[in-house]
Chains A and B, each alone.
Chain A
Amino acid sequence: MEKAEVASRKGKRAEIEKSVLVIGGGIAGIQASLDLADKGVIVHLVEKEPSLGGRMAQLDKTFPTNDCSICILAPKMADCFGHPNINVMTLSEVVGIEGSKGNFSVQVLKKARFVDENLCTGCGECLEKCPTKGVQNQWEQGLATRRAIYIPYMQAVPRAAIIDPENCRFLKEGKCGVCKKVCKREAVNYEMKDAILEFDVGAVIIATGFDVWDPTSSSEYGYGKNPNVFTAMEYERLINAAGPTHGHIKRRSDGNEPKSMAFIQCVGSRNIQTGHPYCCSVCCMHSTKEAMLATEHIEGVRSTIFYKDMRACAKGFNEYVERAKKDYMVEYINSDATVQGSSSAGNPIVSYDVGGKSQQKEFDMVVLATTLVPSEKNKVLAKTLAVDLDEFGFFKVRDHVFDPIDSTRPGVYLAGYCAGPVDIPESVAMGSAAAAKAMEDLMERKVYA
């Protein structure tokens, strides 16, 4: 039995028999990592963002229970980061892989954070002093700004600052250095360089999630034209207590609370023309959730959901929709809707079809359930890992019925939205399934090698 030596996060060297590479630190990747690590397998978890958490961390609540999303996710993020068997690498991407099932050797590019995450306590003093203000905060969907040195978000793991080299004055022009001066822990290090790390692993799990489709290119929804048209992801940040408006739903045009809201589903999905003919599998439910939450945030707000078909098929989903109708007075209209102009008050005018009659109605705010699309980076990653993508750009599964976790390359497994539309519970189930599959590979070697 060969043994590999692996550098763990804490710099100690641990002797192990086999380990697994997990790509993506969202809920699917976290679940897979924890399952493996709890069974004594060393996990190398690669995350391209500066924090674990992925998309679930951006959501306000989860359906159908309306649990606070980050509240149930954060403990798992912390478990993952603190686990003795998990080596979490943020700001990292896989750039090379060799070998075969049971015996891969991978190269990971770890980008410089310019802050030593072992030293940084996340006190935030540097953030207050950084003179570069007004950088768009992508994590808040551009609804807030940040400095050049920042902590990704309040519950970020690791809770350590990061310097964005594109906006940092010191890294660009060699002037400033304020953050280094104010840091009592001496964690700021402008000299930090990108590094290539190498590991031997027995199996690989891809859990890279999705991108949110940008509806700006689609002229029929008025997004980008009418300031009171939001995407669902923007809305999730608006209603989040830790979000840019501290949980107040505010119109972009005048900052007022909306009294009537429209939720338009299937924006960009189930649409051959946009190249996304699939059902995103979550927008029926998240629109329902968002409409409920609107009522909880604003008294007397009236919400209308425009849907193509109501797809509430998992456990408790249909009851959830019924509850929205009964307890929250959410109105459901079976019609695709578009935004056709705006009123003099800046209200989007929504146009739809009821029984073959065209209707127009003004709403204070419109939320678009934009579809979730395969990440652009999938193409590069698929090439690196030598796995196939399907016709949409998701990772291709070997067999939809009997191998729904296997990629097209033996020893490489898939979990979460990167393999196709799923919701959070399904992503978690896939994470566990992928962990079990990876475990099988490791066991196989143990028994027969």
Chain B
Amino acid sequence: MSRIKEIIEETGAFDCVECGKCTSLCPVAKRNKDFAPRLIVVKAQEGMEEEIKSDKDIWSCITCEICNDMCPYEVDFSGFIQRMRGEAKDSGNLPSCSQAGAVHTMERMTGMGQKQKRLAWLTDDLKVKDKGDVFYFTGCVYQLGILYNDRAPELKQVPANVVRILNAAGIEPVVSDKEVCCGHDLLWSGDEESFEKLMEQNIKVIKETGAKTVVFACAEGYRTFDMDYKDFFGDLGFEVKHISEYVLDLVNQGKLQLSAEGSKVTYHDSCRLGRHMGVYEEPRDLIKATGANLVEMSSNKEKAICCGVNAFVSCGEVSKRMQLDRLLEAKETGAEAMLTFCPKCLIHYNCLLSSDKKPPELDGLNLKVRDGSNFVAERLKGGGKSS
């Protein structure tokens, strides 16, 4: 069986009845009339392998999973795209990457053993351990903060703030400078080989610390561990939790006090945390626990509009229009800030907000797109200190 046939079988694309519901819901198809999820599947089913390998549509998909969520026949379309990208890449059909692929290069190099100062953010006031039950997987958020300092400098504070939150609840998490990028962007841009290298390194590092629970403040890392690592590696031997679930538990158990402060905010479901992982309520409950007045945008939860870019691939007009639509929805709520737990969403929205070609519709918009962990850390009762 050819590999494409295998992908069709395993992702359920074989069950597609060509009803077109995916196209009717697809945010890319809505803004780019030449793109249709149904056509990509049909082409693969009909054996037009050569065409699909040179087809740019494979890279136009933003893997937001609205189609997966709504497909009557449960076709795993994003899984299909993820694996077809590997095939496309092998036959020379390459994506156009943001910043000429700087992020991908960085991630690929760490997989080859390039050392990074993963703990450069760690200051003396933060209590961390080398071995223990709870591992905080920081991911690339600090590095992304440096790389995108012009639009999302806030990202650099995320790891320290996460440790601050955990410390305030009496938890000293394990952090490690041997951890590497989770490989999310490489996997979604067709480089399975490098992805597997990173995965093996990360699992090894975490296992050495004896951690039972791994906490993520990054939606992509969380998805990658919980879904992709388990697919590629099998049982990980530790539990993975998103920060919103983990911290909400601490709040509910009374181990963590948050100061009540009535700012008006809205929450953006990132695709990875929302549709991919089905985590909708915990981030909202956590934000509400800070005393914030949480208002919903008109598209929320499984209907949330995606930030328009995945894995730093194919950023273009469609992405910008999606970002604009989302920010206009946020504007309508009258919220001071739009919170999210995905560093990529943060970068992409702030990219549009800080652009000199900012669309006129956004003039006078006084909305900040902010990271949820930072927001929570600023509202810690006593001891919590934000920079």
Contact = CB atoms under 8 A, between A and B. Distances in A.
B306 to A, nearest CB: 15
Contacts of B21: 220, 336-338
Contacts of B24: 335-338, 340, 350-353, 358
Interface stretch (A158-166, A264-272, A404-412): A264-272
Interface string A265-289: 0100011111000000000000000
Contacts of A351: 24-25, 30
A357 interface: yes
A357 B36 contact: yes
A343 interface: no
Contacts of B33: 357-358
Given A219-B303, A352-B24, A353-B38, A308 B73 contact: no
Given A272-B72, A336-B19, A336-B72, A358 B303 contact: no
A386 to B, nearest CB: 34
A239 to B, nearest CB: 27
A273 B20 contact: no
Nearest to A360: B30
A335 B70 contact: no
Contacts of A334: 20
Interface string A324-342: 0000000000111110100
A352 B38 CA distance: 11
Nearest to A338: B24
A356 B36 contact: yes
A266 B20 CA distance: 12
Nearest to B71: A273
Interface string B5-40: 000000000000101111111100110011110110
Interface in A339-366: 340, 350-353, 356-358, 360
Nearest to A333: B20
Contacts of A360: 30
A334 B42 CA distance: 15
A420 B87 CA distance: 43
B23 A353 contact: yes
A339 to B, nearest CB: 9
Contact of B72 (A271, A340, A356): A271
Interface residues of A, number: 24
Nearest to B73: A272
Residue from A219, A270, A352, A356 whose CB has the most chain B CB atoms within 10 Å: A356
Contact of B26 (A266, A274, A358): A358
A356 B23 contact: yes
Contacts of B35: 358
B74 interface: yes
Contacts of A273: 70-72, 74
B323 to A, nearest CB: 18
Interface in A271-317: 271-274, 308-309
B76 interface: no
Contacts of B29: 353, 357-358
B73 A220 contact: no
B302 interface: yes
Contacts of B74: 272-273
Contacts of B36: 353, 356-358
A271 B72 CA distance: 4
A32 B100 CA distance: 74
A309 B24 CA distance: 16
A261 to B, nearest CB: 18
Residue from B34, B39, B72 whose CB has the most chain A CB atoms within 10 Å: B72
Nearest to B66: A220
Contact of A353 (B17, B20, B34, B70): B20
Contacts of A337: 20-21, 24
Interface in B242-297: none
B39 A356 contact: yes
A406 to B, nearest CB: 32
B73 to A, nearest CB: 6
Contacts of A352: 20, 23-24
A336 B73 contact: no
A273 B33 CA distance: 27
Contacts of B73: 271-272
Contacts of B23: 335, 352-353, 356, 358
Q: 8 tightest CB-CB pairs across the interface, nearest first?
A: A353-B20, A353-B23, A358-B29, A271-B72, A336-B21, A336-B19, A356-B39, A335-B20
Given A308-B17, A353-B29, A356-B23, 10 more contacts: A220-B25, A273-B72, A308-B19, A335-B23, A338-B25, A352-B24, A357-B29, A357-B36, A358-B23, A358-B24
Interface of A: 219-220, 266, 270-274, 308-309, 334-338, 340, 350-353, 356-358, 360
9 contacts: A219-B303, A220-B70, A266-B72, A272-B72, A273-B70, A338-B21, A352-B20, A353-B24, A358-B33
